[in-house]
Amino acid sequence: MTPKDVIKMAQENKAVMVDFKFLDFPGIWQHFAAPIDELREEIFEEGLGFDGSSIRGWQAIHTSDMLVIPDPSTAIMDPFTQFPTLSLICNIVDPITKEFYSRDPRYIAQKAEAYLKSTGIGDTAYFGPEAEFFIFDDIRFDQNSRCGYYFVDSKEGIWNSGREENPNLGYKPRHKEGYFPVPPTDSQEDLRTEMVIEMQKCGIYVEKEHHEVATAGQGEIDMRFDSLVKMADNLMLFKYIIKNVARRHNKTATFMPKPLFGDNGSGMHTHQSIWKNGKPTFAGSGYAGLSELALYYTGGILKHAKALAAITSPTTNSYKRLTPGFEAPVNLAYSARNRSAAIRIPTYSASPKAKRIEVRFPDPSCNPYLAFAAMLMAGLDGIENKINPGEPLDKDIYELGPEELASVPTMPASLEEALDHLEEDHEFLMKGNVFTEDALETWISYKRSKEVDALRLRPHPYEFFLYYDI
């Protein structure tokens, strides 16, 4: 779509506003809107100015002026605004140098795609994330000098099986039994279908939707795979639609990895493959039908997984999900069937086009542009350096003896540990200037000061249970 096409689209839909969306560093969409008269062809080259000093992880106050450059290929009509509004996803540009901003996550993802092409290994990296989420009826939380708490509720939560609801009709999925009972136990089929319909209106190809394992409204909607930047764009739109459809029904949706104790968290298993000249490069005669190139890519992911975790599983809450001994994929191994391995090789189809790997440790709290770019760079490092992934782990991990289990490396146990690994192991991310030293230093510093240290300073409610009588 060209700028002319975008303007025509706005006219045909009688748009009165144009909304400019862009991503802050941690991964939340930001926006500002302007009257449709401001939508002129030249802004697609010259951009529009805004203050970048208040965006998390961005500019200092004395260098706050920035430009948004809208991408015409991302134009849609926003499905949630009261007044007809055209929506555009933007890149960020420095107004002085006219260079793309090194901390703009979308630009980092674009550089990763360019680096792939420069290597000659392939020309397209496809990603297919399975982002899980919860839909709750109520969420309250607070933390101050004298108290701290959270309170989550859902009519579907098993803990409400005895509540007076005048009448309580039951059919509340038990912990870990939400996968896949039909209605009325699955109470949110129509809600997820509405989400799917809105996604389709916005050009997202949806393959399926279903209730997930946990009680209390855990769900999953699967999108058809797409190229790296396009998939990251789609995932941001996906989150926007899920949250706003939930809000439309007076409910609240979250992509927080572990909002409930004692039940499954929300992961984002990420399918990925590389193609060249319209042909898949991951299909071959090796293990589970993989090519040598795909196995090297797998080796790169496994080698750098502990550093990747700081980007793909980037919250302190992520490590409440990535806990050894449960179903989470903490074991740094690959397998065609073992779902507790960090990388699974799907075997649903024998078609070479379907051959891919599924990286299972990411979660949907990540910034998708950074996460997809980082995984691609790790995989490419594996290919370039012919990193052998070792033998597959096809045994039941829960039945392994202590000696065997000790030989299987695991994911970091905390965000702090993951950040330490990223600090030590990040050269692979800097090839082709994809991630700059400034971007990585800012990420590590932000996560440590705003999240790790901030949580460390605050008493936890459970500590009162454990220690008050000491």
pLDDT tens per residue across span 389-409:
999 988 777 677 777 777 889
- At 398 the pLDDT is 66
Among candidate residues 19, 104, 212, 226, the one labeled active-site is 212
Is 451 tagged catalytic? no
Maximum mean pLDDT: which of 57-71, 351-365, 397-411: 351-365
Is 212 tagged catalytic? yes
- At 325 the pLDDT is 66
Among candidate residues 24, 78, 130, 416, the one labeled active-site is 130
pLDDT tens per residue across span 5-53:
999 999 999 999 999 999 999 999 999 999 999 999 999 999 999 887 7
Is 51 tagged catalytic? yes
Flag whether pLDDT at 337 surpasses 80.
Answer: no
Distance from C-alpha of 17 to C-alpha of 33, rounded to nearest angstrom: 7
pTM comes to 0.96
**What pairs with residue 309 in β-bridges?**
none
Is 220 tagged catalytic? yes
Is 321 tagged catalytic? no
**What pairs with residue 152 in β-bridges?**
139
- At 65 the pLDDT is 83
pLDDT, averaged across the chain: 94
Long-range CB contact pairs, 170-178, < 8 A, 24+: 172/215, 173/211, 173/214, 173/215, 174/215, 175/214, 175/215, 175/262, 175/263, 176/213, 176/214, 176/215, 176/263, 176/264, 177/213, 177/215, 178/211, 178/212, 178/213, 178/214, 178/215, 178/218
Among candidate residues 56, 174, 337, 339, the one labeled active-site is 339
Flag whether pLDDT at 197 surpasses 50.
Answer: yes
Flag whether pLDDT at 339 surpasses 90.
Answer: no
pLDDT tens per residue across span 162-192:
999 999 999 999 999 999 899 999 999 999 9
Cβ distance 147 to 290 under 8 Å?
Answer: no
Is 360 tagged catalytic? yes
Tokens of 279: 């042909």
- At 326 the pLDDT is 67
- At 170 the pLDDT is 94
pLDDT tens per residue across span 455-469:
999 999 999 999 999
pLDDT tens per residue across span 141-170:
999 999 999 999 999 999 999 999 999 999
**Reported confidence tier of residue 61, pLDDT bands at 50, 70, 90:** very low
Is 56 tagged catalytic? no
Distance from C-alpha of 452 to C-alpha of 419, rounded to nearest angstrom: 10
Among candidate residues 269, 304, 344, 356, the one labeled active-site is 269
Among candidate residues 106, 360, 421, 426, the one labeled active-site is 360
Tokens of 355: 């051959």
CA atoms within 13 A on the CB side of 421: 20
Among candidate residues 104, 113, 220, 226, the one labeled active-site is 220
Low-confidence winner among 20-34, 97-111, 257-271, 394-408 (lowest mean pLDDT):
394-408
Among candidate residues 5, 38, 41, 51, the one labeled active-site is 51
Flag whether pLDDT at 136 surpasses 80.
Answer: yes
Give the whole-number percent of the chain exceeding pLDDT 90: 86
Among candidate residues 104, 113, 186, 358, the one labeled active-site is 358
| Interval 304-314 mean pLDDT | 98
Is 292 tagged catalytic? no
Is 427 tagged catalytic? no
